[in-house]
Amino acid sequence: MKVKEALSAFDNDRRDAELLLLHCLGKEERSWLIANDSDELPATVVQKFSLMSSQRLAGIPMAYLLGYREFWSLKLVVTSDVLIPRPETELLVEWALELAARPGYQSLLDLGTGSGAIALAVQNTLPALTVTACDVSQAALDVAQENARALQLPLELIQSSWFDALGQRRWSLIVSNPPYVAIDDTHLSEGDLRYEPEGALTDGGDGLSSIREIAARAPDHLNPDGWLLIEHGYDQAGDVRSILELNGFSDVRLRRDLAGRPRATGGCWRC
């Protein structure tokens, strides 16, 4: 089978097909496919490409098939043990960097780090910042550790269900992209979400229980004038604001993503 025949042999999106074939060939540049479209493919490559194309047609996310996802210009390893980093979450990174650049801000905690995307993006940009990341899943921490090693970043990783294993430690800034999808949300049975770890997507209830716990416990782990930033669903902004204010946070603010949707809410502790 030739390159051009392989790319048209399945009903995958053309861009997906190109990425999958490049992955099977161990190549990176799309220009190679154009320059070599009449080349015969090795049987082993055809077999692997056929399998991956079928998996993609079945709905398996491209990030899991390729084994990586670009986030904040970083190439991060991802597996089915972690959420796929999304562009919307870069908003949380931008906000964290704005705050972490302030005088006196020396440390950041990323709760529920998954692949380590948020923590590593911040640390890669501000290497002088001490960054800690935790997750209840050891499998997720293994992925984050692999990414930290590849980027040569000294990320501190701790297995913990939210603050449970963090003792009395405090940070200048706490960020989290917690499970906030309500269990009855139909999106859980659509698209990539069907294949991502359920516990990282939903709390099994209204989507706010993890946010309530984080907001209630964060004051015991924040330095004075420290900030808590939380990513949430587009329709949860009012609820998250109320949760933060009920737990004593002030100067509560909302940030919107590039599509104009409410995406993250943060508040200051003892401003």
Alpha carbon 253 to its chain centroid, in Å, reads 22
CB proximity list for 200: less than 8 A, separation 6 or greater: 82, 83, 112, 114, 137, 140, 179
> CB of 229 within 8 A of CB of 174?
yes
Q: Would residue 64 count as lying in a domain? A: no
Instruction: Output Rg (C-alpha) for the chain, integer angstroms.
Output: 21
Shared-domain flag, residues 37 and 83: no
Cα–Cα distance measured from residue 47 to residue 42, given in angstroms and rounded to the nearest whole number: 9
Residues 157-187 pLDDT 10s: 999 999 999 999 999 999 999 999 999 888 8
Q: What burial class does residue 216 get, using C-beta atoms within 10 Å of its C-beta: 0-12 exposed, 13-18 middle, 19+ buried? A: middle
116 and 16 in a common domain? no
Residue range 200-212: average pLDDT? 93
Report the DSSP pairing between strands 156-159 and 130-135. Answer: parallel
Q: Are residues 221 and 194 in the same domain?
A: yes
pLDDT value at position 216?
Answer: 97
Instruction: Tell me whether residue 222 is in a domain.
Output: yes
- Tell me, yes or no, whether 133 and 16 share the same domain: no
Q: Write out the residue range of the structural domain in which residue 54 sits.
A: 3-58
pLDDT at 47 over 80: yes
CATH number at residue 202: 3.40.50.150
State whether 78 and 51 are in the same domain: no
Task: Average the pLDDT over 129-142 and give the result.
Answer: 97
Is there a contact between 192 and 84 (Cβ–Cβ < 8 Å)?
A: yes
